[in-house]
Structure 1
Amino acid sequence: MGKPTLRLIPEANVEAKEKLALNPADRPSIMTYLRLRDDTAMPLYQQLEEQLLALIETGILSVGTILPAERQLAESLGVSRVTIQRAYIALRQRQLLISQGRKGFVVRGVGDQIRPGMDRLKGFTEEMRELGKVPSSKILDRRVVQDRSISSIFGLPSTAPLLRLTRVRCGDDIPMSREIAWYNLAAAPALEEANLSGSVYACLAEKCGARLVKCEQTIEATTPTQQECELFAFDEPVPCLLIKRHSFAGDGQMIEYVEGLFRGDMYSYRLKLSG
């Protein structure tokens, strides 16, 4: 026998469309829709989980909505804070909520996970635009370095100058990845002084004449550090994807080596294979 489900209360079902049509500022409080029963075998946290799921599916709780704080909702419903925590965690595990640190839990929505293809070489900026999201970047560190181990990856002398660029990449203002990239300044010297707040790939093509045409990359599962958890506003470590990419120009020169950490709760890759 399948697990019982509990959807919106009848009065919420009748009025859902009318309430959804209101401007967000005029919509009723979430408490209008929630009713927990004590005459059913379904645990309270599961009742709350199912009712919140219904509100998300119908759009009453739209993407980006910040849910009430655990303590506030627990007091309003007359239940323990643990009950609220279990419901919120269950919805996060179903990839419908994301944790935004002190903001609390935010609605991510049904099918809102990023699923870029891997059928051709493209940068983060282009990738986000193809997915209908607004890309942005925050540069955390930018410097010219000499690094023996990284130079060996490029096949360059240990004293070769490299541009080291550390950025947080966002889609619709949500941190999606943290990447550390190194660029071969011998092949693209104009990159040292260029404006890198946007697409580095576009800058390479337009300012340096070094359009990237192929890459080799690996994808690994990893656990973020405490610092990386703070960057992504994780309350606790969430599995992430570590992508290492070697990118080359048309003449075969390696231009870029990048290690990108992508949040696993919002990012998955789609592969197209043919036999």
Structure 2
Amino acid sequence: MPLYQQLVEQLHELIVSGMLPAGAILPAERQLAESLQVSRVTIQRAYAALRQRDLVASQGRRGFLVRPQPEEVRPGMDRLKGFTEEMRELGKVPSTRIVERATVQDRSISSIFGLPSTAPFLKLTRVRYGDEVAMSREVAWYNLKAAPALETGDLSGSVYAFLAENCDARLVSCQQTVEATLPTVEECRVFSFDAPIPCLLIKRHSFTQSGVMIEYVEGLFRGDMYRYHLKLQA
């Protein structure tokens, strides 16, 4: 790992752990370079990378100031639950902004559900908020053949609750993958990122108790606030 990157990771850990608290001023570039016996360019690159991660802010002649860090969200992955329930369990107020809502036919999505290419789906694109902070951007497709009430129902809250109450289609299991990715320009705008930072892309296939697939969703969760934990047993 390049020297500047090693320094970035060490300073990143000090900041997120609170050992370098919000408001702390990082050492001057020349001072830190001499202390670590590295070039000043190495320090400049490290500080620039920290600024891109929104961890520090330039204060002109004062140098770089550690920015206040958003509260980290640590949801569990031990059971199936929707975003609304997850936020409430974490003590946050959930809210949603619907960006796109349309009834569509999509050959590639049909193949994911194992349905004919002419099958109708509700495509729902939403930005999900916790305490008015944008936490995720989700694009979801719902099986209208199995849950037709979704097409015209009120989906401003929890879709999972709507399914259980209005479609007799409570979701009880899912297949889920998590991978790292960089947000697009539009997603950076949603999350108020000055530059792309790694995010979590979660893809989920959700099923009813009878094994009917109702939902396929691709959700991008901000990497600076989400850290999933798992409990494993032998």
- With the shorter chain as reference, the TM-score category is 0.7 to 0.9
Which of 1 and 2 has higher RCO (CA within 8 Å, sep 6+)? Answer: 2
Distance 1:157 1:132, change over 3 A: same
The 5 A counterparts of 1:104-119 are 107-108=68-69, 112-119=71-78
Partner of 2:187, secondary structure, is helix
Residue type matched to 2:96 in 1? S
- Which has the larger Rg? 1
SS at match of 1:182: strand
> What SS is found at the alignment partner of 1:219?
strand
Equivalent residue number for residue 45 of structure 2 = none
1:164 to 102, 118, 123: 123
Q: Which residue of 1 aligns with 2:80?
A: 121
Q: Distance in 1 between matches of 2:198 and 2:169?
A: 34
**Aligned-CA RMSD value:** 2.7
Distance in 2, matches of 1:268 and 1:37, equals 29
Matches within 5 A, 1:193-272: 193-272=152-231
> Alpha-carbon deviation of 1:268?
1.2
Q: How does 1:1-275 map to 2 (within 5 A)?
A: 70=58, 73-74=59-60, 79=61, 83-84=63-64, 87=65, 91=66, 97=67, 107-108=68-69, 112-275=71-234
* CA distance in 2 between partners of 1:180 and 1:214 (Å): 19
- The number of residue pairs the alignment matches comes to 192
The C-alpha deviation readout for 1:153-178, integer Å capped at 9, x for no partner, is 00100000000000000111000000
Separation in 1, partners of 2:231, 2:134: 26
Label 1:144 to 1:34 Cα distance change in 2 as closer, same or farther (>3 A): closer
Q: Deviations along 1:194-231, whole A, 9 cap, x unmatched?
A: 10000000000001110000000000110111111111
Counterpart code for 2:233:
S
Matched-pair identity in %: 66
What is the CA–CA distance in structure 2 between the aligned matches of 1:123 and 1:220, rounded to whole Å? 19
Q: Which runs of 4+ in 1 moved over 3 A?
A: 33-38
SS at match of 2:91: coil
Unpaired runs of 5+ residues, structure 2, are: 1-9, 11-21, 34-56
Aligned partner letter, 1:259:
E
> Offset of 1:108 from its aligned partner?
2.8
TM-score normalized by the length of structure 2? 0.75
- Structure 1 unpaired stretches of 5+: 4-29, 44-68, 92-96, 98-106
- Provide the rounded CA distance (Å) in 2 between the counterparts of 1:189 and 1:205: 13
Partner-residue secondary structure (3-state), 2:220? strand
**Counterparts of 1:212 and 1:135 in 2: how far apart (Å)?**
20
Change (3 A) 1:233 1:254: same
Q: 1:247/1:34 Cα in 2 relative to 1: closer, same or farther (>3 Å)?
A: closer
Partners of 1:113 and 1:209 in 2: CA distance? 35
Q: 1:114 to 1:36 in 2, by over 3 A?
A: closer
Assess, with a 3 A threshold, how the Cα gap between structure 1 residues 108 and 153 changes in structure 2: closer, same or farther.
same
